Structure 1
């Protein structure tokens, strides 16, 4: 397996771990990028652009992009935190102060910060949306506005796997008057110089490879002790909150469909290069070469300040969330306790670590059944952590 790209001195273990993902963990095509103090120190890619490319398939290139699933949530969270940073959004205000229709079915006192921390109590829809309905932001917003919470908002937490799309997207539209994908393009991706999109432009479609499932055995012994009831167990139960949360769009969309890629679903269908994802996270914690710094130190503290912790009503394992970001823990090990970021189900990962000044982006065209702590991403995290302390 040929690995292309470069690593700075001291980061050679990342190349070894990346190559190992192809040799032992089933990667078909992938890329990883790492920034330290705003400067790129790892830029690697390999394999084929399409998951089913096989021998002779089009190779993954430096600018190849992929759908990153729930890693999109970290970008969407940045929009709300930047609006707060600019004085346009009060995190302690009721969601209904900006979105009056949301004040229904027991959600009148839901706060903006509770929405970001997966405490809003609406991870499911009593009537799931079809992919076409889900892509209509007005239809999705109406559905979550009418939905009764499954727990009293603010009293517990559970991952809002799909509904996070319409909760964040509609709140941004109400505050700014602009679609969230447009806001990201003009206020985040453009100033930062990051190749990431929510709502893929037609002009960029040739850069995006086909994705698919590539399950392979987990490493011997596993990355962690298997819980008594795993996410996979809960997902197999049609009545569970886990299954219902991920099935808020039914049937699941075809992620290779150009119409799906052109839609803007902030929970699930952002598209990025590894460099774009890493560069975005680097810009949250410092000025990035050729770009800007997005978050003030105070906003970084909001992103990584614990808001939810413990048994997750949806993911069934213990999770930790700041405002829109997963925090370091057993369900999603990051670089250190200071880290914040977001995985994409079965593959992608983006994170920032303010203590070390490191930001990482990993994208792949091969998804596994894992929800968090993908073994390929974790192998890279461990290699970066080892390099960072040298």
Structure 2
């Protein structure tokens, strides 16, 4: 962003270094973008910052795979309540899923991205990708791209639809409905699966990345595992950058890719789950977090090449951010968004950006999150 961009918002005493780091990050960004950072410590908001032309703390961005975090918070809650059993076969809940040799796959393995159902032959249409039911219907009959359970790979556009179909078959409710009723509305969270029509005036559309010199590499081959997972085998291939701006995606909120919200909403979501919010008890018990958060997929993701990538549904945060505890859990979003809860430090973190990152995973999150955890440790230490 340009030097004329002013950082708005506030930080609690002891988090001044976080504001400085955020100011440095946004100063390095191309003009015309925008970002937000919000942090809760032990359930209390301690960082609330934003920058960029037209950006405020209430601006809403397309946050893509941050949706997977919301979908799997619903899933974790249902497992905690005994509604879903991690070690039942997926086909126990969804009989059609057993086609093409998938009958033995357990729900636990599905959440670990081990199903081999990263896409479909010939790809999905954009209309299908916006509709979890249509994704699930096509995947039920699809032959896996590897033997289920033998490897794991990021199910980028589809994991929310797969998880969501299990949830729907068991409860009669969609993930989107349960997220709204059980989590979002009760806490008043500024984070949504889908963009409510009445909030469109707060939405700032996704902007494409500005590549750094020498960065224009070749896209993955359409028939590679990454190409299939990112629907590049479709005709035309899916444009990820523009996906969040499409009204069908905004209207239906697919549970893999269709999230919209602010950094405040993301941080509050994870605070409500793990630390408690507004004096309330966290909605996930420590034993549930211990089940879902730590690394469950040791080795290399055959789609992305990332190592030790997943817990159950969530991305294992301690791999990406070694300064976090082993039970830290959350999910990134393709624009460079990041969100997580870290039970060890008491931090719940939400970062959003409007312009796609020129580098994968929004690498500025490492700098920001490390500054946050350092400050949180000092504040806790000073408090005794």
Same fold (TM over 0.5): yes
Q: How does 1:228-243 map to 2 (within 5 A)?
A: 235-243=219-227
- 1:278 aligns to what? 267
- Counterpart for residue 226 of structure 1: none
Give yes or no for contact 1:234–1:316 (8 Å, CA) kept in 2: no
Over aligned residues, Cα RMSD in angstroms? 2.1
Could you say what secondary structure the match of 1:68 adopts? strand
Compute the displacement of 1:251 (Å): 2.7
Where 1:152 maps in the other structure, the secondary structure is coil
Q: Which residue of 1 aligns with 2:381?
A: none
- Equivalent of 2:126, from 131, 134, 155? 131
**Corresponding residue number in structure 2 for 1:105:** 100
Alignment correspondent of 1:251: 238
TM-score scaled to structure 2, two decimals?
0.90
Distance 1:71 1:274 in 2: 11
Alignment of 1:94-173 (within 5 A): 94-173=89-168
1:175 aligns with 2:180: no
Residues 1-390 of structure 1: matches in 2 within 5 Å? 1-26=5-30, 28-48=33-53, 59-215=54-210, 217=212, 235-247=219-231, 250-252=237-239, 254-289=243-278, 293-329=282-318, 331=320, 335-372=324-361, 374-390=362-378
- Mapped to 1, the partners of 2:360 and 2:64 lie a distance apart of 11
SS of the residue aligned with 2:101?
A: coil
Answer yes or no: is the 8 Å Cα contact 2:42–2:346 preserved in 1.
yes
Moved more, 142-151 or 282-291: 282-291
Deviations 1:326-378 (A, max 9, x none): 11355565634342211112410001100111000001111125443x22222
Cα distance in structure 2, aligned partners of 1:241 and 1:380: 32
Mark the CA change 1:187 to 1:342 in structure 2 (over 3 Å): closer, same or farther: same
Deviation string for 1:17-61 (max 9, x for gaps)?
Answer: 11112211337211110001000000111112xxxxxxxxxx212
Q: Structure 1 residues 344-353 or 136-145, which shifts more?
A: 136-145
Deviation digits for residues 71-113 of structure 1, max 9, x if unmatched?
2111111111111111110010001111111111010011111
Alpha-carbon offset, residue 309 of structure 1: 1.8
Worse-matched range after superposition: 110-119 or 147-156 = 147-156
Q: Helix, strand or coil: the match of 2:200? A: helix
More displaced stretch, 87-96 vs 325-334? 325-334
Change (3 A) 1:149 1:370: farther
Q: Which segments of 5 or more consecutive residues in structure 2 lack a partner in the other structure? A: 379-384
Q: SS state of the match for residue 389, structure 1?
A: helix
* Structure 1 residue runs without a partner (length 5+): 49-58, 219-229
Q: Is the 8 A contact 1:121 1:157 kept in 2?
A: yes
Instruction: Tell me what 1:221 maps to.
Output: none
Deviation string, structure 1 residues 120-159 (Cα, Å, up to 9, x no partner): 1111211311111222333211111011112222221111
TM-aligned CA distance change 1:101 to 1:193, over 3 Å = same
Q: Partners of 1:136 and 1:215 in 2: how far apart?
A: 30
The answer on whether the counterparts of 1:352 and 1:360 sit within 8 Å (CA) in structure 2 is yes
Separation in structure 1 between the aligned mates of residue 110 and residue 322 of structure 2, nearest angstrom: 23
Does the 8 Å contact 1:335/1:381 carry over to 2?
A: no
SS at match of 2:299: strand
Figure out how many residues of one structure are paired with residues of the other and give that number. 367
